[in-house]
Structure 1
Amino acid sequence: MTTTSTTKPTKAFWIIGSIALLWNLMGVIAYYSQINMTNEALSLLSEPEQLYYKNVESWATAAYATAVFGGFLGCVTLLLKRKITFTLFILSLIGVLVQATYNLFIQEFMEVTAFQMGWTTLIIVISIFLVWYSKIAINKGWLYK
């Protein structure tokens, strides 16, 4: 008879997981808002923003989807204590990096502002943290299924 040795996650685990889930849920909402933007909503944006949304590359949109849904599912599986969490956060990080590369260095419609650079950096840092944290959770035996 073999048994799986597991350790009970700390309260911090549940807090971090819950906050991360809310963060990634906001990302999913932002993604859906972007892909379902009406012509009326688009007309309220500046001309550079309109050009960006009308011309964003499909691979950049796919990277965005990978980033937000990978992160969201990673958080769900984190709270369900599943080892696949690490893989999902890696996929999300790859999506974040690809999308950031497009937004900051490739697209030619909108000027990159200090705010946009800071926001993108924050998203990358959080994505890296979630990859690191999920690996720690696996090593501590909190993720085992």
Structure 2
Amino acid sequence: MSSSTVKPPVWFWVVSVLALLWNLVGVASYLMDAYISIEQLEAMTQEMRELYEGRPAWVTACFAIAVFGGTLASIALVLRKKWARPVFIISLIAAIAQFVHWLFMTNSPDVYGAEVYVMPILVVLFGAYEIFFAKQGIEKGWLS
């Protein structure tokens, strides 16, 4: 029942913990979004509020899958489990689906301006790196 994994270098732990922290920030963002107060809604412009209230349930589900999946995968990475990689893949697919809706199926770029693209680009790049990192961990024997 013992594992034949190789001891990972220190930077593996640094990257793994950073990935976990990154994904926990995503969970916090989701929870703030899910439990938005009436006061916060009233502080939005009419266009922002229409975007928020008009979001389909599947987009909210993709948001939840992306952040909770990424967090679960990051925990698996810290625990050195190779199933982190497929969970990171599912998380990234969910994030991309959410961003496709946000960027191309709504008028959010008109409402928020060009900065609306920044977070989706960061999330996709970091998500792709997490998948690559987990793949490298499997290949190097750091994950079992």
TM over 0.5: yes
Deviation per residue, 1:101-141 (Å, 9 max, x gap) = 01100123562522111221111000000011101101111
Once the 2 structures are TM-superposed, how far is the Cα of residue 56 of structure 1 from its aligned partner?
A: 0.6
Indicate the larger mover: 105-114 or 8-17. Answer: 105-114
Structure 1: gaps spanning 5 or more residues = none
Aligned equivalent of 1:132: 132
TM-score (norm 2): 0.93
Off by >6 Å, runs of 4+ in structure 1: none
Once the 2 structures are TM-superposed, how far is the Cα of residue 4 of structure 1 from its aligned partner?
A: 3.7
Kindly indicate whether the alpha-carbon contact (under 8 Å) linking 1:28 and 1:68 is maintained by their aligned counterparts in 2: yes
Once the 2 structures are TM-superposed, how far is the Cα of residue 55 of structure 1 from its aligned partner?
A: 1.1
Q: Distance in 1 between matches of 2:36 and 2:2?
A: 51
Secondary structure, aligned partner of 1:5 = coil
Kindly indicate whether the alpha-carbon contact (under 8 Å) linking 1:49 and 1:110 is maintained by their aligned counterparts in 2: no
Structure 2: gaps spanning 5 or more residues = none
Kindly indicate whether the alpha-carbon contact (under 8 Å) linking 2:108 and 2:116 is maintained by their aligned counterparts in 1: no
1:34-53 aligned within 5 A: 34-53=33-52
Identity %: 33
Q: Distance in 2 between matches of 1:21 and 1:135?
A: 17
TM-score (norm 1): 0.93
Aligned equivalent of 1:142: 142
1:74-85 aligned within 5 A: 74-85=73-84
1:10-29 aligned within 5 A: 10-29=9-28
